[in-house]
Chain A
Amino acid sequence: MIDAYLTHLAILIGIYSILAISLQLSLGYGGLLNLGHFSFFGIGAYASALLSVEGVPFVICLLFAGMVAAFFGWLLSIATNKLKGDYSALVTLGFSFVVYAVLLNWVALTNGSLGIAGIPRPNFLGIDFSNNLYFLLLVVFIALLSYLFIRKICSSSFGRALESTRDDELAAKLLGKNTTKLKRASLLIAAFFAGISGSLFAAYITFIDPSSFTFTNLIPILSIVIVGGLASLPGTIVATVVVVLLPEPFRFIGFPTSILGPIRQIMYATILLLIIYLKPRGFYGKIDLE
């Protein structure tokens, strides 16, 4: 029983790690406060679920989820290209509401508020991932690949150019950098990995509905990035573990489930405020939160 519970938590940590490091790429390295990042997670989850219920192999569903999310990342980058700071954040926030409205109202495709049930668990290479332990190994493997890929980007000369755009876009342009291209690429890659994590989430929970992908769901992920510290990938992983595990003791106190959700939201907001006030660089952040 305890083993199953711990495995469940470890799977969530794995899935949220991928989502958080992808947000870290666009926010911590690219400097784009993307309040619509959770929508890419939702788009990936739906794209994957719609294919997998039709019997399409999981690996194809996974890659398709990433590519569809990346396509929407590209569209969002066009909308935010000329905008800066608060204005850009507002557009991404608007994007998250549009995606939620589409998921809720395009009933023919998404089944509306009833959601998509019966999403099959992956089954490939002769391994049935209905077993949570195997699913955990799959999540860890994909999370590791995602981490290494994003770390490679951040430590490359492309990552350095991306950081220059975050610090001072005008100065980067004055050195001849095509900052539009840099920001677009970072948003596209971040969306791809958010889509991948959404696909894993859908395959794990086996049921998705629009309420799982509202803007408020971004708060824990944003908390992870800020608690871990901007522009720090190891910090993001540590913070994912902390933020996922922190509300868990409340389950054992015996609060009714109706107030567990709000308690979590209050906790995440408190953590965010404390970090901003006491430790603006989070655990291992390279840059200040401004």
Chain B
Amino acid sequence: MLKIQNLSKKFGGVMAVDNCSFEIETGKITALIGPNGSGKTTLFNLISGIEKPEKGTIFFNGGDITRCSIEQVSNFGISRVFQQSKLFKNLTVRENLLLAIDNEDTKFWKSLLGSNKITEGKETKLKEVLNELGISKIKDKLTSDLSFGQKRLVELARALLNSHHLLLLDEPVAGVNPKIKKDVAKLLLDLKKGGQTILLIEHDMSFTASIADRIVVMDSGGVIAHGSPSEIKNNKQVLAAYL
């Protein structure tokens, strides 16, 4: 589904991503791990179109998306959750989610004349996600009034509602309480069962090992190992660099 080929990105004199190559499979959870500064978030930024690489190619569903804009990448079906909150803080939870589900809202006359309506199907999907993540009760709250854990759940809900084939999750459970962590793990496994493909960055190794089918380990911008969680656990190079 996603193929990273010889990708390199430099900031000043620092190689943030250095000749990085790997592939992720459809319907699997792949975890990207590595010490701080190993280039994981930069790689996410390259995939999302926020940064452009100096070298290399990103293929998504067979197409080259290396030079695509952020909105094009999103419209191709890559949905992302950031490490820091990127919620629209002056809008309610529901409004945040509607923005993800409504792909016609930039059409001025259609919106103005009222012909851009949220269909019943989309409304049902919205309710389902709200219930699934247990955030129905806070749907009319401003996102700026939410706790950290609630914000993470709303971010996840928004990414799920944004039409996608691949979910990019940057530390989805960092700083949340154990209950939310458990719920998120269950949700991600359910999503996988439903055929969804997920690429996530996570420092919590027990969380990662419990849900990931495959782990890609990065260090100093490059991929140093990849394999199943048990293979990675016993990899000497990984142990030296990270674990």
Contacts and interface: CB of A to CB of B under 8 A. Distances in A.
Interface of A: 152-153, 156-161, 163-164, 166-168, 170-179, 181-182, 185, 231, 286-287
A152 B106 contact: no
Contact of A158 (B50, B98, B112): B112
Contacts of B90: 163, 166-167, 231, 286-287
Contacts of A152: 112
Given A160-B95, A161-B106, A164-B88, A170 B71 contact: no
B88 A163 contact: yes
Contacts, number: 92
A177 B71 contact: yes
12 contacts: A157-B98, A158-B107, A158-B111, A163-B88, A168-B86, A172-B99, A173-B71, A174-B70, A174-B74, A175-B158, A176-B75, A182-B106
Contacts of B11: none
B105 interface: yes
Instruction: Report, nearest first, the 3 A-B pairs whose CB atoms are least far apart.
Output: A158-B111, A157-B105, A176-B74
Contacts of A287: 90
A93 B163 CA distance: 40
**Most interface-central of A153, A159, A171, A178 (chain B CB within 10 A):** A171
Contacts of A166: 90
Contact of B102 (A157, A170, A182): A157
A166 to B, nearest CB: 8
Nearest to B88: A167
Nearest to B155: A171
Given A177-B71, A178-B106, 7 more contacts: A156-B112, A157-B111, A160-B91, A161-B106, A164-B99, A174-B74, A175-B162
B87 interface: yes
Q: Is the interface of A mostly helix, strand, loop or mixed?
A: helix
B48 interface: yes
Interface residues of B, number: 34
A179 B69 CA distance: 12
Given A167-B88, A168-B88, A286-B90, A160 B99 contact: yes
Interface in B125-156: none
Contact of B86 (A157, A174, A178): A174
Contact of A170 (B70, B107, B162): B70
A134 B103 CA distance: 45
A81 B130 CA distance: 35
Interface in B43-82: 48, 50, 69-71, 74-75, 79-80, 82
A161 B105 contact: yes
A16 to B, nearest CB: 25
Interface in B80-121: 80, 82, 86-91, 95, 98-100, 102-108, 111-112, 114, 116
B71 A163 contact: no
A186 B153 CA distance: 31
A177 B162 CA distance: 11
